[in-house]
Amino acid sequence: MTKEISKRKVLVTGGAGFIGSHVVKQLCDAGFKVAVIDDLSTGFKNLVDTRATFFEGSIGDATLLQKILPGTAVVFHLAATSTVNYSMTNPKIYFENNVMNGIRLLDAMRKFGVKKMVYASSAASYNGKKRTPISETDPIGPLNPYGASKLAFESVMSAYFHSFGIEGTALRFFNVYGPNDGQPDNPRAIPMWLEAALAHKKVPYYWKGKQKRDYIFVEDVARAVVLAGEKARGFNVYNVGNGEGMWMIDILRELENILGEEFVLEDRGERPGDPKYAVADTRKIRKELGWKPLVGLRDGLERTVRYYTERNKKSDL
C-alpha cells in the first residue's frame, strides 16, 4: 500500500456490526482515516476501533452524511437489515433500509464527489438450485426478501457507475462466521449453536442438517473488503467464500469434536427461503484482486469456540 493511499479518508457504514467492526480495525491498522456510521440497531459501539470516528445515526440521514462525506475517498457500505428469517416476516423493512437508504447514500456521494463504493452483498442473490460451486455468472433468483434487497441494490450500483461514474464493487458474502460480541438470540447458525451448547440447552437445526454451505472466517472477509477498496475498478461483482462446501450436520459434528461433547439436537424441520446449496466459486476474486482465504474451517471454528467459551466464563463472574 502506498503512503498516499494509506492516508485517505474512508467511511464504513454498519461499522459497529459483526463484519463491519473487523473491516474498521483492518482499515485503521492500514493507516486509513476512518469514519463510522451505525444506528446501533444491531451493532455495538464497543466493537468500533477507538482510532475511528464514530457517528450514531442512519445512512438515510442527509444532514449526517453532509457532515461526514466531504473529502471521503471510499465508502465501505456494510449497513443493512440482515438475516434471512427476519426478512420473511418484515420484507418491507428490508427494501426500505437495504435499497432506499442505499440510494440516499449514493445520492449524497454524488453530491459530495465521492467516487467509490464497496458493498456487502450476499450469496442469497443466487437461487440455490445450480450445481456448486456457484460463480458470479450463474443464474440469480433470490429465494427470500433479504436476498432480493441485496441484489436490487447491486443493480442500483451498476446504474450509478454507468450514469454518474461512481465505481462500485459488490462482494457476495457466503456464510461468514467468527468471534462476535453481543448479538443476543443470534440467528446465524454457528453462534446460535454455540450459545445453546454452552448453556447446556438443545441445539436447534433445520433440514436435518442436509444443506451444503460455504463458511468463511470474518477476518478473511474483512481483508476482501479492504482489498476491493484499494484495487477494484469500475463496476464488479465478486464471490467471497472459502470455496469449499460442508454439510451443516458435519459442521455441527466438528463443533462437538472441538468442545468434546455430544449435542442434544432439536430438529426444527424445513425453513422457507433456505437454498439447499451455497458454495462459492472464488476464482474471479483470486485472479483479479489477488485475494484468498487464509483461515481454514477447523482453525476458524476453534477460534470461534474459544471466544464464546471465554465470553461465557466472564458473564458467569
Residues listed for the chain: 317
Task: Reply yes or no on whether 215 is catalytic.
Answer: no
Of 13, 173, 238, the C-alpha closest to 106 is 13
Pick the catalytic residue from 94, 119, 146, 215: 146
Cis peptide before 133 (omega within 30 of 0): yes
| Residues designated as active site | 146
